[in-house]
Amino acid sequence: MDKKKVRDYMTYDVISVDSKGAAQDVIDKIQKTNHDGFPVVDGTRVIGYISARDLLFTQADTPVEQVMSKNLIVADPDMDINDAARVIFRSGIQKLPVVDERNNLLGIISNSDVIRSQIEHVSPEKVFNFMSTLKKLYNVDPTLDRGTLPVKDLLPTQSKVYEDELEGRMYEIRKGLAEPIIVVRRPGRTILVDGHHRAVAAKKLGITALDSYIIDIKDDIELGLERTAQAMNLKTLDDVQVLDYARHPLVAITHRMVKRD
């Protein structure tokens, strides 16, 4: 696959602030949009960034140019998404304006956009490690293929997916950015190993086939994954439960920690 770029995940419809405006204009936009900051532009050219923090103890009529941050870090639309991630997380900045070679504002990339790009990442190592595990467990000689497979034929092996991650996968599918799922195909069965959020998202969007790494086994043997699916009464993707964000285990742990403190 081509490397994911900032242009694939950035928001194109950006709210900006005119450099000739006043602090009150920014306050009004924060109240209206619930955003915590905006690129500052002179015409279409980005010259700074202003956040809610910059407005603390600031008079309403103070010019934006006096309180905005001029130490601007920006991203290029063709920048690798992983490079953007490094900049965002090492600098502690939540959002990077995306600009062209003349510093004209094109969009914005946020830390949440970067996180969305990384969830359920498929690597060749993951595929080959699983093939190696199959060899050891079942004394088989699997082969690897790449192709599209019908969504309706997939046997799920995971009983739950999370709504927030599902939305991210639907976003990627709409933009043509979804990575392949990983399946094991043996006589009479196509077993979904990795990519349950992508598969459920595709089904919700009415997509009938998905790009797949297909691990083929010629031997007609029952895999442990199939027994797991049977134990959870999973037969099709319709049997996979979608949990809302509030029930995500990471969120539940956070809530418990907050209450304890």
What CATH number has the domain bearing residue 219? 3.90.1530.10
Last residue of a domain, one of 117, 151, 177: 117
Residue 92 lies in a domain: yes
Residue 256 lies in a domain: no
Entry pTM: 0.59
Same domain, 239 and 148: yes
Q: Is residue 135 within 8 Å of 30, Cβ to Cβ?
A: no
Range of the domain at 63: 6-117
pLDDT tens-digit readout, 189-239:
999 999 999 999 999 999 999 999 999 999 999 999 999 899 999 999 999
Residues 147, 58 share a domain: no
Q: Are residues 112 and 132 in the same domain?
A: no
How far apart are alpha carbons 90 and 83 in whole angstroms? 11
Domain total in the chain: 2
pLDDT of residue 118: 65
Residue 260: inside a domain, yes or no? no
**Is the pLDDT assigned to residue 186 strictly greater than 80?**
yes
The amino acid that residue 139 corresponds to is N
Residue whose structure tokens are 């004394």:
139
| 3-class SS string, 213-236 | EEEECCCCCCCHHHHHHHHCCCCC
Average of per-residue pLDDT across 46-54: 92
Per mean pLDDT, which range of 70-79, 110-119, 153-162, 236-245 is the poorest? Answer: 110-119
> Does the residue 165 lie in any domain?
yes
Q: Identify the domain boundary among 65, 90, 117.
A: 117
Q: What is the pLDDT of residue 125?
A: 79
Predicted local confidence at residue 256, as pLDDT: 39
Note the pLDDT tens digit of each residue in 52-100.
989 988 999 999 999 999 888 899 999 988 888 888 887 878 889 999 9
Would you state the pLDDT for residue 260?
A: 46
Q: What is the CATH number of the domain that holds 48?
A: 3.10.580.10
> 138 and 18: one domain?
no
Does residue 50 register a pLDDT over 70? yes
Contacts of 198 (CB under 8 A, 6+ apart): 120, 169, 172, 173, 178, 179, 181, 210
Amino acid (1-letter code) at residue 2: D
pLDDT over 90 at 120, yes or no: no
Rounded CA-CA distance 11/113 in Å is 9
One domain, residues 70 and 133: no
Can you give the pLDDT at residue 65? 94
Whose tokens are 């603390």? That residue is 56
Asked if residue 14 and residue 105 are part of one domain, the reply reads yes
Task: Identify the three-state secondary structure at position 214.
Answer: strand
Do 81 and 131 reside in the same domain of the chain? Answer: no
Are 140 and 162 part of one and the same domain?
Answer: yes
**Same domain flag for 85 and 128:** no
pLDDT value, residue 259: 44
What's the CA gap between 34 and 43, in Å, rounded?
Answer: 24
Same domain, 108 and 209: no
Do 146 and 199 sit in the same domain of this protein? yes
62 and 141 both lie in a single domain: no
Among 117, 144, 178, where does a domain finish?
A: 117
Return d(Cα 152, Cα 28) in angstroms, integer. Answer: 49
